[in-house]
Amino acid sequence: DAGNTEPTDGTGASGSPADEAGVLLSARGLHKRFDQLEVLKGIDLDVRSGSVAVLIGPSGSGKTTVLRSLNGLEIPDAGTVRIGDVEVDFATAPTKKQLVGLRAQSSMVFQAHNLFPHLSVLQNVIEGPLTVQRRPREEVRAEGLALLDRVGLASKAEQHPYQLSGGQQQRVGIARALALKPQLMLFDEPTSALDPELVGEVLSVMKDLAAEGWTMVVVTHEIRFAQSVADQVLFLDGGVIVESGPPEAVLTDPQQPRTRTFLHRIL
Ligand code: ADP
């Protein structure tokens, strides 16, 4: 079934089972410094298979750096990241092979979609599976069309990104990330560059993915989304996780003054 790209229970093609406790992603002691600036000061994170973790926090608190560290786009100075059965210890500089292995475990959806302007929507979606994963074109094409259907854009397959609205482009970005069949989906403020009226359609696709059992880590300021979709919310400030827990605790009854101040400011 070409359309079936839903995660199974970690026994999928790339085979990266969660551990016995059901934890798919585990990060420990992530530290990152940019010159004088210590951006991550020891981040620990556990995300169970099929669950959604939402990172919130002020601008500059380190959310994007955490996300990028999880798939090796940023190389932490210390700490470990395990996704499924791939583990990288950043105490020593990772080899290219280790980074490629880690990157293959997750797909990132960026703030701006980064679609290739000269390729059609469908070509954008299947580019990764074709060139990075070297999978057969016919198979990949069928899956790509099914994914476009899934994000409500089947009719746009042959159009080019500039012919689409920002929300539609971002949905293509999601389809493109899904096409790589990752264990884990990472979202870096996927709606923050969109006009307000286009935010809902993207969040709705993300909500569907969560309901289908995708494991997701989402950086967002959309507190209502966090409230209704997250299994855990982590509040970052100054490179540390100040408070974490289920949304009804962190968002509704925050214990830390810094969390309260932040929520007051954005709500
Ligand atoms: P957030 O996503 O919470 O806004 P970021 O992780 O993007 O925070 O950034 C955290 C801090 O690290 C900010 O002060 C930012 O300016 C700095 N930073 C991020 N990336 C780099 C980089 N490549 N070089 C230097 N400083 C950076």
pLDDT per position in the chain (267 positions), as tens? 444 455 544 433 344 568 878 999 999 999 999 999 999 999 999 999 999 999 999 999 999 999 999 999 999 999 999 999 999 999 999 999 999 999 999 999 999 868 999 999 999 999 999 999 899 999 999 999 999 999 999 999 999 999 999 999 999 999 999 999 999 999 999 999 999 999 999 999 999 999 999 999 999 999 999 999 999 999 999 999 999 999 999 999 999 999 999 999 988
Nearest alpha carbon, ligand 1 atom 6:
62
Output the pTM of the full model. Answer: 0.93
The total number of residues written for the chain in this structure: 267
Task: Round to whole Å and give the CA distance between 40 and 235.
Answer: 13
Task: Round to whole Å and give the CA distance between 107 and 163.
Answer: 25
Nearest alpha carbon, ligand 1 atom 5:
62
CA of 60 to the centre of ligand 1 (A): 6
Task: Round to whole Å and give the CA distance between 38 and 32.
Answer: 6
DSSP letter assigned to residue 134: -
**Tokens found for residue 3:** 């359309």
Given ligand 1 and candidates 54, 56, 64, 110, which is best to mutate, with the most ligand atoms within 8 Å of its CB? 64
Task: Round to whole Å and give the CA distance between 43 and 39.
Answer: 10
ipTM over 0.90: yes
Task: Round to whole Å and give the CA distance between 221 and 196.
Answer: 13
Q: How many distinct helices (H) and strands (E) make up the chain? A: 9, 10
